[in-house]
Chain A
Amino acid sequence: MAEPSMLPPASGHDKLMIGQSAAGIYLAHAVLILGVVIVAFPIYYTFVASTHTLQTILRPPLPLVPGSEAVANYSEALFGGIGRIGGVGVGTLLFNSTVTALGIALGKIVISILSAYAIVFYRFPLRMTFFWLIFITLMLPVEVRILPTYKVMVDLGLIDTYAGLIVPLIASATATLLFRQFFLTIPGELVEAARVDGAGPWKFFKDILLPLSRTNIAALFVILFIYGWTQYLWPLLVTNRNDMNTIVIALRKMISFADADTEWHLVMVTAILAILPPILVVVLMQRWFVRGLIETEK
């Protein structure tokens, strides 16, 4: 499948190290191109399917190139409403997912930066107890406390609300640990100097700590946005109404192999629209993404 034109010219710009052969480099490119094809194919093919009519999709194999129905399919999904999920349009679903992902990312950043600030820059009774209480939540993912957490949500009346989708997921040990780690590297002299110049806690936080944390915040934001967007189990539990579903959950509801009613062309459009925003975030903010990934896993 390797396109010859995509290989480097025979002279090659790849600098050969000792012990490397030109053939080895060609092989490396070939393997990488094959890897890219495998990685990209499911997404590409779904995109292709999203531009064909339902009839074409129902008769495999599907052509390898996009069809002519792109405009019709996308506008039907976005503005027409989808029958299987109670006539809700993809626009509503995208809105729900955006609110959820942004809420989770920003919420996590805000509450984590505040608690890390308190834990690093103050000395108060129970400080380390609080730190450990936050730290241990790493070991309590939603999956191990599904039913009781669901009951709390019912009792608080948070089913089918944005708060219900967001708030339970914004306590994050990872983000708190990351900010704590970073704050500990800030030299004590800087803090002293700020104090001597008369900066109070708020001014120090706003004018010194926040600007210094910009990179960390950007990196965390990318990771947390994707985390929020790709949630599954939680939105599945706390949303019943079709118009409160996130796009990922709605997509699952749209598919059925048991009956012939599945509007596959709209399913494909929804799938593409569901993966596009997080992919854009990853690709456009790649530098922050890679950094965030490596930092949060330390």
Chain B
Amino acid sequence: MTPRVVFPNKILPYLLVAPQLAITAIFFYWPASQALYQSMLREDPFGLKSSFVWFANFRKVLADPNYLNSLKVTAIFSVSTAAVAMSVALLLAVMADKVVRSRGLYRTLLIWPYAVAPAIAGMLWLFLFNPSIGSLAYLLRAAGIAWDPLLNGTQAMVLVVAAAAWKQISYNFLFFVAGLQAIPKTLIEAAAIDGAGETKRFWTIVFPLLAPTTFFLLVVNTVYAFFDTFGIIHAVTGGGPGKATETLVYKVYNDGFVNLILGDSAAQSVILMVIVIALTAVQFRYVERKVHYG
């Protein structure tokens, strides 16, 4: 219901929206338009002259093996992070849904990583698993595993995925718990009376009914893995070793701020913008309408 027009004032509403619009214009629209503009410029090596090159930067970026590598790294990183964070959280939420005793205590103990900054989450894991002083790295090596995430790309990826997923478990857990509570218990009891075992009940009733929550979390986790994990990569691996953990966002930062290749960095920004718009559109189009119950 929309409230009636209440306060007939010509100027006041503009003053009320002014602060937000001013900040939005200065720090969002102007820079975003600059990013679009710069993505079509190419500067000479000394930054003295720049020429308008239309989509040449995009063609260059998309043909660059380093960029394609970064796309692949991002895909592996995002899929693994979302898969690990969501399956662990789902398992814990299903267990928490079963117990009545100390459910609140479990919740309290499981939600705090949400408050840990991604970069610090990365540092905590690095502290445990770095080859020189990490206690768990020590145990791994004592067990005969050649563990060195600072030199081995796959191990570096495992480490950043673990840190990123660890931090996201809390969030997913809360949403899965809420999703589970919304499923009518009578439905599950009816299936139990009909002789469906626990595993069967989960896969045929609970899991399909959780689909809207799962899908929503899939989108959120993907956005998280794409954008919010910059701190983890920057703090733990710096994109290395080699370029084994260089995600798209890290590459934009690195090319723009460290290597100062402005046109390429801007073109990458614009590609990222397209990805965010697509993800947001998916989120609003499908999550609102709920996933169809099969």
Which A residues have a C-beta under 8 Å from some C-beta of B?
8, 12-15, 17-20, 24-25, 27-29, 31-32, 35-36, 38-40, 42-43, 45-46, 49, 57-58, 60-62, 110-112, 114-115, 117-124, 127, 130, 133-134, 137-141, 143-152, 167-168, 170-171, 176, 183-188, 191-192, 195, 200-201, 204, 226, 229-233, 236-237, 248, 251-252, 255, 257, 264, 267-268, 271, 274-275, 278-279, 281-283, 286, 289-290, 293-294, 297
Contact = CB atoms under 8 A, between A and B. Distances in A.
B67 interface: no
User: Which are the 7 A-B pairs with shortest beta-carbon distances?
Assistant: A19-B192, A232-B231, A230-B117, A148-B34, A148-B31, A118-B16, A278-B115
Contacts of B170: 39
A168 B27 contact: yes
A120 B5 CA distance: 9
Bin chain B's interface residue count. 35 or more
B20 A176 contact: yes
Contacts, number: 325
Interface of B: 1-7, 9-10, 12-14, 16-17, 19-21, 23-24, 26-32, 34-35, 38, 88, 91-92, 95-96, 98-102, 106-121, 123-128, 130, 132-135, 137-139, 150, 166, 169-171, 174-175, 178, 185, 188-189, 191-193, 196, 198, 201, 216, 220, 227, 230-231, 234-235, 249, 252-253, 256-257, 262, 265-266, 269-270, 272-273, 276-277, 280
B275 to A, nearest CB: 9
A236 B252 CA distance: 14
B135 A60 contact: yes
Contact of B124 (A25, A42, A264, A293): A42
Contacts of A40: 109, 112
A171 B24 CA distance: 6
A146 B262 CA distance: 11
Nearest to A237: B257
A251 B12 contact: no
Given A42-B127, A49-B127, 17 more contacts: A17-B185, A19-B191, A20-B192, A27-B95, A31-B91, A61-B135, A118-B17, A144-B269, A146-B253, A147-B257, A148-B34, A149-B31, A188-B3, A188-B4, A195-B6, A251-B123, A293-B171
Most chain B beta carbons < 10 A, residue from A12, A49, A130, A264 = A130
29 contacts: A14-B100, A15-B100, A17-B189, A31-B91, A32-B99, A36-B110, A43-B116, A111-B20, A115-B21, A118-B14, A124-B10, A134-B21, A137-B24, A140-B29, A140-B276, A144-B272, A146-B252, A148-B266, A171-B23, A171-B28, A183-B3, A191-B4, A201-B7, A233-B231, A233-B234, A264-B133, A271-B123, A282-B111, A293-B174
Contact of B32 (A111, A144, A289): A144
Nearest to A236: B234
Interface residue SS majority, chain B: helix
